[in-house]
Each structure stands twice: as structure tokens, then as C-alpha cells.
Amino acid sequence: MLVPLTYNLRSLFVRRSATVLTLLGIGATVTVLTGFLALQAGFRSLYTQGGRDDVVIFMRPSSTSEGQSLFLREIADRLIKSSPEILAVGDAPPVAAMETYFAVRKQKAHGAGETNVPIRGVQPTSFQLRDGLRIVEGRELKFGSDELIVGRKLIDRMAGCNVGDVIVLNLTPFRVVGIFEGPGACESEIWTDFDRASVALNIPWANAILAKLRPGTDFKKLEERIRSDKETPAKVMTEVDYLRSQTNALGMMLGLLGSILGTVMGIAAVFTAMNTMLAALAARTHEIGILLSIGFRPFSIFVSFLFEALLLGVLGGAIGCLLALPLHGIKTGTTNWDTFTEVAFAFRITPEVLTTAVVFSLALGLLGGAIPAFRAARLAPTEALRRR
Amino acid sequence: MISFKLVRRNLTKHKMRSALTIASLMVGVFLLCVLKSMVVALESGVAGAKRDRLVVQSAASLFIGLPLPYQQRIAEVPGVQKTCKWCWFGGYFREPKNFLGAFATDSDTIFDVYPEMEVIDGSIDDWRKDRSGCLIGDLLAQQFDWKVGQTIPIISANYLPPSGDAWQFTVRAIYKSESSAVDRRTFFFNWDYFQESFEKVMKRTPDTSTIVMRTKPGADQNEIMRTVEGFYENGPQRVQCTTEAAFQAQFLTMMGNVPFLVTSIGSGVLVAIALACVNTMLMAFRDQAHDVGIMKALGFTDGGVSGFMLGQSMLLCIVGGGLGILLVKGLEPAFMAFLGSVFPGYAVTGRTLAVAALVTVAIGLVAGVVPAIAARRLRCVEALRSVE
């Protein structure tokens, strides 16, 4: 027979100051961890949502990011023309775009210093290649003119990014004509005409080629053919894989920090929980003696104490999650070291984040409660009864 | 008067509780120091920057290089002692995750521009003589277990090798540096070899990412910066000439909110460990209320019993915090090796330790003050009436 659960609830209530302090201690730990996971989730979701399997990116062999890749124009042209896998409808040109990707120095808003804002030189097909990109203010980019459109996330973060502002690329002034919304990290980018940017910056090349594949294309075969091409070997990745690979450096840094935090703060929280449960044990030794003498099995005592510890853990976890909830949606930004450019993202408290936090807090309770529960179960009834 | 022995004896009465509290304080203070050291690491480039070094980079973008003839012209500016190129190579060893800070540089001048670099294995002359030789930092050598004389294949994300899949470099010298301005994980190789290989593949002259100069003692740096920026006001690539500190600071501002985030995590940790200590001290007071009554009956003053509680709290915190400080200092080399690739310049400074010590004392006071007041207010008749 198990000890009634109300016994545990009431015990927690009787020792409320210790209970509250322990809950807050576990809560603080879980808040920090949840906030951190939310940050990680926000960053990752930028790169994992919106990636498609039928859109591919061509880069130079061994490049890990489009900014590092480089194709001379004629080579890029040849690559597009010699790839029948790229979708082409009727007589229209293939759905492929040469793009340049580089960064310009820009002052952050509110005088927070300079950072590198990504600028993408695009072709008309680039718009066709990105679902869900739309102008929300101003107008579309006119090709052949020195114009820019700016991702919505940049507006508040960077100085001088509004419609009508002028951004000088090397020596040529470019005017901002529109603001766009779009999937993933492109909302942190500035877009301009590929050809005009090449002239202004004197870079006669494309960084990467983005293309849509014909339905039913065997990606493995394409990859193999492009890699072993005699004249212009290249690396081709699906957009999904490419975007995922762009989170490595920062993802590793966040992961490293997160695991150090989780482990160390977790240890401290386990100790606190254990202390509280040991104190509970000391205060209730007499009661345990009574429970044992009226016929409860040691195992029931063990379960009862463990349950109480788990309850502490899960309540603390709930407090932690609640405290972390207001973080959801708060925007922040840092440099993505894979692309070496600024990226803006928001904290995201996802169901996975909450699940991890709750499992973590349960584990804290379990680890903190195991030893006190074991000790409680081992008490001899006569000894325990003698203690007042 | 409260003797130290009395305080100590009361803590050792509950060995488990004291040990758990000390342990959570220890890990908490340890974590605080680690987090602070990470912030120090992020700021180390700025902190270690030398006043007599200036850096020239493209004014438009970090992604855009400077034409080679720029170096000669800059070297001739009055007040400039020596110059050397740094060309970002985007190198990695075998896999992108083994990412290196690799640069092509001038082997004949780099030691003049960076006099704090000291070769500890191999020799400078060997490196200068071997075209495909490289000079690597001691921590990098340690990380991959590279020895002088060893040939290392390096893949570059930015540049195709002259032949085969990878560039081949032979380690000719290993350097270390006491100054945080020089990362001890950098991989340098000869510019001439880079230029020759680049020309073979690309059929044009390479650009350099930055040009670093050391100025003569007493030279007017503002004048030099103005002169250099003035040279290229009208192209072909406009340049920005800054002090080394300002150059390093741009990488810090690129981090955006990261230092702030790490600091806020630190405050979360602080709250958690403070709660743990308060919890312990409240438990201690509950246990000792009867004893305090006896002490008061024996003639201990209100101040005396307050000191008795506060003393326990302080002793717990000082021992816990002290162990944490010892632990973080003891593990510094291990953490440097473990975190170095993400946080180069990780160092536990005296300032960090002083802050940790201060925090420890503050927690001791906070945790001790409530039981100290309670002990002062306790009426001895009441205390004696409560039977344990």
C-alpha cells in the first residue's frame, strides 16, 4: 500500500519556508536553462524553417558558406546552362540565380557600434526562388538601378535603413526603396541588383548559385555529377542541408555554454533539493516510525519521499518556465560566425524547450530525492519512534 | 564572545547539510567565475591591443580585400615602422568543424609588427626559408598534437589549392605570446607561397584582408590614419585605418548582446546559490533555536547569538566560495584547452577572483542576516520550551 499523496502535499505546506526557497532555487536554475534553450531555439529556427529539398545551392568545392564561395561569371553561366536538372518552364530561362553575398559595415541603431550586415546581390529569379518574400513598405527592387530593399528585422537594429535612406557601397550611393518580409535569415539581409553591386564593388563574380530542381530529380546523382565535373567541379547542397550547416559555429558555442550551465547549475540545484529533503527526513523521523509501525512497507516510504522530491522538482520547474515565458519573442542579435554577418532573432519558447525544462527539473528532483528517500526507507521503526 | 570553535562545531554537527551547501556554493562560484572569464575572453582582444599598432581594412566590407600595392604606399608614410599583411584563408583541418584562424602573412616583418610573439620551438629562419612552411600557436599545436617538421593538409574554404584537394604546410616554428592581442591558436604561412599558388589557379593577383602597421615611437597616429584613409578616398577600394583596439572592438560589437546575456545568466546563478544558502541557514536556525535559548540563558548577549548565526553563515560561504575559486583557478588550463577554440583568450583574472570573493561574502551576509535577527529576538523562555 502506498502512502497517501496528501501526506506529501501537507508536509510540503507545513515546511513552507524551506519549500518556497527550494522551489525558487530550482526555479532560478530552470529559468536560466529555459532562457538559454529558447535563445538556441530562436537561432536554429531561423535556419531550419523555410529550407526546401528541391532548391539547391552551388558553391565552390570546400567552401562551407556562400560568402566564401566564388564563381567567375562565365563559369557560373556555364554551370547553369549545362545542368538539365534545373527547372525550366517552356522557353523561359532556368529557375536559377547567381547571387553575391557579402557584408557591409553598418552602424547599429542607438550608437551600439558597427557590425557586418549581409548584402545579397540578386537576380530577378531570386524572388521566384524564395517563397513568401513580400514587400511590406515602399516598392519592389528595380533591376538596373542603384537601389536596395531591406529586410524588416534590420529596421530597428541598424541606423539608416529606412525607405529613402542612402547606403554607400564603396563609392556608389544606393537608395533604399523598399522593406521586405521573408522566410528565415533573409529578413536580416539587404538585397540589391547583382549586376549593380558587382560594378559598385568591383567584384566580377558570383558567390553562389541558387536553383530550383525539376520534380523527381535524383539529388545524389546531380551531386555526384557536379562534384566530379572535369571543367568546373562544384559542391551542391540542398537548401535544407545548407541552412542547417550555417548554424554550426554559433550552435556549438551556444551548445557548449548550455551544457556547462545545465550541468553546473543542475548540480547546485540537486544539492539544494537534497538538503531540503534531508531536513524533511530529520523532522519527520518520528512520523515515519509511526507509518512503519502501522504497516506501511519501507518501499512505500521510499516511493513517498521520492514523490515528494519529484513534486518539488516539477513545481520548481513550472516556476522556472513561468519566469522564462516573458522572454518569448524578445529580439536579439549577434554575429553568425559561419556567415560572419549579423543575424537578428527572437527567443522562442517552443514545446520542445518546455519539455526539456520539465524533464530537467524532474531529474533534479529525482537525483536530489534518491538518497533521502533511501535513508527514510532504511529507518528501523523502533529507532524512529524513539526520536521526537 | 562567540568562539570560532563553537561556530565550527555547530556546522560539523550536520555534516551532510554543511557539505551539500558548501558544494553548491563551490559549483556556483565556480560557474560565476567561468562565465566572467568567458566575457573576459570576448574582450581580451581589445584589452591586449597595443597602442603602436594600426590596422587598415576595406571601408566597405570585411569581405572585400585590399589591392596589394596599398601595402607599399602605406609603408612609406612617415612614422610607419613596419607593415605586414593578414589575408584570411578560411582554413580547416580535414573537416569544417576543425576550423582554424589561418592567415597568409609576411614572414619577414610579422615579428617586427608583433614583438610580443616568441618562438618556442623550431626557428623563425626555418619558417622564412621554407616556402610552404607555417608558424603556429602553441595552443593550436597542443590541440591537434602537431610537431615541428610535420606536414599538415589544410583545406581552405576561400582558396583552391595549387594541386590536389588540400594545401600542404609543414610546421617550421611554434610561437607563444603573453599578450592577449595575439591569439595563441593562429596558423600563419608565407605570403609568397600563397600569392604564387593563387596566381596559378586564378590568373590574377590576390588581395589582402588587412594590413597591420607598427608606428615609430612618438609618431602622430591620427595623422597617419588620416593620411592612409586620404590615399584611397576616391577608390579603387576605400579604406578604414584604425587603432588595433578599435579594430578588435568591432569583433566585440559584432557579438551584440552575447556579453550581456552571459552576465545575466551569471545573475541567475547568483540568485540560485543565494537561495540555497538562505535555505540552509534557516534550517540551521530551526535546529539550533533551543541551543540559542540555552546560550542566552547562560548569559550570551543578543549581539553574541547574532554573531553565532552570522558566523556560521560566513564560514559556510567562505569555505564554499574559497573552494570554488580554487577550483576555477586549478581548472583554468583545462578550460583554456576545452573552450579555447570558441573562447580564445579565456583567462581567470585577479579581478574575476576578487569579484567572486566579494560575491561570496555578500551571500554569507545575506544568508546569515535573517537567522541572526531571529536569534537576537528569540526570548529564551520560549526557546527553551520548544523541545526537539
Q: State mean pLDDT over A155-166.
A: 88
- Residues contacting residue A239 through CB under 8 Å, at least 6 positions apart: A51, A52, A53, A55, A56, A57, A210
Please tell me the predicted confidence (pLDDT) of residue A106.
Answer: 83
CA angle B133-B138-B139, nearest 5°? 120
Task: Note whether B4 contacts A: Cβ–Cβ < 8 A.
Answer: no
Average pLDDT, chain B: 89
Chain A residue closest in CA terms to B342: A253
Task: State how far residue A90 is from chain B, nearest Cα, in angstroms.
Answer: 37
The secondary element (H helix, E strand) that includes residue B135 is strand B133-137
Average pLDDT, chain A: 88
Task: State how far residue A110 is from chain B, nearest Cα, in angstroms.
Answer: 13
Task: State how far residue B376 is from chain A, nearest Cα, in angstroms.
Answer: 20
Do residues A161 and A120 lie in contact, with contact meaning Cβ atoms separated by under 8 Å? no
pLDDT digits (tens, 9 = 90+) for A330-342: 888 888 877 888 8
Phi and psi at A54, nearest 5°, equal -100, 10
Q: How many Cβ contacts (< 8 angstroms) between chains A and B? A: 184
pLDDT digits (tens, 9 = 90+) for B151-185: 999 998 888 888 888 899 999 999 998 888 888 88
Top-ranked range on mean pLDDT: pick from B292-296, B299-303, B305-309, B357-361: B357-361
- Please check the confidence at residue A294 and state whether its pLDDT lies above 70: yes
Please tell me the predicted confidence (pLDDT) of residue B195.
Answer: 93
Where do the structural domains in chain A lie, given as residue ranges? 5-48+248-386, 55-214
Q: Beta partners for B168? A: B153
Task: Note whether B323 contacts A: Cβ–Cβ < 8 A.
Answer: no
Select from A62, A257, A275 the Cβ nearest to the Cβ of B156.
A62
Cell of A37: 534553450
Do residues A42 and A348 lie in contact, with contact meaning Cβ atoms separated by under 8 Å? yes
- How far is the C-alpha of B333 from the C-alpha of A388, rounded, in Å? 51
Residues of A in contact with B271 (CB under 8 A): 24, 28
Please tell me the predicted confidence (pLDDT) of residue A388.
Answer: 64
- How far is the C-alpha of B388 from the C-alpha of A111, rounded, in Å? 63
Q: State mean pLDDT over A60-65.
A: 86
- How far is the C-alpha of A137 from the C-alpha of A220, rounded, in Å? 41
pLDDT higher at A154 or B63: A154
Select from B24, B235, B256 the Cβ nearest to the Cβ of A268.
B24
Best mutation target, A167, A254, A272, to test chain B (most B CBs within 10 A)? A272
Name the DSSP letter for residue B344: T
H-only helix segments in chain B: 4-13, 15-48, 69-75, 110-113, 124-129, 138-144, 191-202, 221-231, 244-254, 258-298, 302-330, 332-339, 350-377, 380-385
Instruction: Name the band, by pLDDT with cuts 50, 70 and 90, for residue B2.
Output: low
Best mutation target, A31, A33, A64, to test chain B (most B CBs within 10 A)? A64
CB contact under 8 A, A260 and B17: no
Question: By three-state DSSP, how is residue A79 classified?
Answer: helix
Cell of B355: 569579484
Where do the structural domains in chain B lie, given as residue ranges? 4-45+257-385, 60-237
Do residues A124 and A143 lie in contact, with contact meaning Cβ atoms separated by under 8 Å? yes
Burial (CB count within 10 angstroms: exposed 0-12, middle 13-18, buried 19+), residue B358 = exposed
> B residues 48-87 near A, CB within 8 Å?
59-64
Residues of B in contact with A31 (CB under 8 A): 268
Cis (ω within 30 of 0) for the bond into A233? Answer: no
- Cα torsion A80, A82, A84, A90 to 10°: value is 70
Predicted TM-score of the model (pTM):
0.83
- Please check the confidence at residue A260 and state whether its pLDDT lies above 80: yes
Name the DSSP letter for residue B163: S
b/e burial code for range B193-214 (CB count within 10 A of at least 16 → b): bbbebbeeeeeeebbbbbbbbb
Q: Beta partners for A103? A: A118
Select from A60, A248, A334 the Cβ nearest to the Cβ of B258.
A334
Residues of B in contact with A261 (CB under 8 A): 31, 265
- How far is the C-alpha of A108 from the C-alpha of B70, rounded, in Å? 29
Residues of A in contact with B269 (CB under 8 A): 28, 32, 265, 268
Chain B residue closest in CA terms to A282: B287
- Please check the confidence at residue B387 and state whether its pLDDT lies above 60: no
Of A66-75, B17-26, B223-232, the range with the lowest mean pLDDT is A66-75
Please tell me the predicted confidence (pLDDT) of residue B1.
Answer: 54
Residues of A in contact with B278 (CB under 8 A): 21
Task: State how far residue A292 is from chain B, nearest Cα, in angstroms.
Answer: 21
Residues of B in contact with A333 (CB under 8 A): 256-257
Best mutation target, A201, A265, A361, to test chain B (most B CBs within 10 A)? A265
Cell of B334: 583545462
Q: Beta partners for A107? A: A114
Select from A116, A264, A274 the Cβ nearest to the Cβ of B62.
A116
Task: State how far residue B29 is from chain A, nearest Cα, in angstroms.
Answer: 10
Distances (CA, A) of A311 to A62, B136, B160, B236, B249: 52, 54, 59, 68, 48
Task: Note whether B288 contacts A: Cβ–Cβ < 8 A.
Answer: no
Burial (CB count within 10 angstroms: exposed 0-12, middle 13-18, buried 19+), residue A54 = middle
Residues of A in contact with B59 (CB under 8 A): 105, 170
Please tell me the predicted confidence (pLDDT) of residue B382.
Answer: 79
Residues of A in contact with B21 (CB under 8 A): 271, 275
- Please check the confidence at residue B388 and state whether its pLDDT lies above 60: no
Residues of B in contact with A103 (CB under 8 A): 61-63
State the amino acid at position A49 in one-letter form.
Q
Residues of A in contact with B32 (CB under 8 A): none
Of A281-285, A335-339, A364-368, the range with the lowest mean pLDDT is A335-339
Do residues B186 and B101 lie in contact, with contact meaning Cβ atoms separated by under 8 Å? yes
- How far is the C-alpha of A5 from the C-alpha of A211, rounded, in Å? 62
Q: Which of A142, A152, A256, A201 is CA-nearest to residue B207?
A: A201
CB contact under 8 A, B276 and A340: no
Question: By three-state DSSP, how is residue A254 classified?
Answer: helix
b/e burial code for range A92-128 (CB count within 10 A of at least 16 → b): eebbbbbbbbbbbbbebeeeeebbbbbbbbbbebbbe
Select from B20, B272, B339 the Cβ nearest to the Cβ of A256.
B339
Residues of B in contact with A29 (CB under 8 A): 268, 272
Residues of A in contact with B27 (CB under 8 A): 264-265, 267-268, 271
CB contact under 8 A, B21 and A271: yes
Question: By three-state DSSP, how is residue A56 classified?
Answer: strand
Please tell me the predicted confidence (pLDDT) of residue B386.
Answer: 64
Task: Note whether B298 contacts A: Cβ–Cβ < 8 A.
Answer: no
Q: State mean pLDDT over A15-21.
A: 87
Which is it for the CA torsion B274, A370, A378, A284, positive or negative? positive
CB contact under 8 A, A272 and B254: no
pLDDT digits (tens, 9 = 90+) for B43-102: 888 888 888 999 999 888 877 889 999 999 999 999 999 999 999 998 899 888 888 889
Q: 10 Å Cβ neighbour count for A28?
A: 27
Select from A63, A103, A278 the Cβ nearest to the Cβ of B16.
A278
Task: State how far residue A302 is from chain B, nearest Cα, in angstroms.
Answer: 19
- Please check the confidence at residue A218 and state whether its pLDDT lies above 70: yes
A172-181 and A134-138 as β-strands: parallel, antiparallel, unpaired?
Answer: antiparallel
Q: How many CA atoms lie within 13 A of B58 on its CB side?
A: 28
CB contact under 8 A, B17 and A278: yes
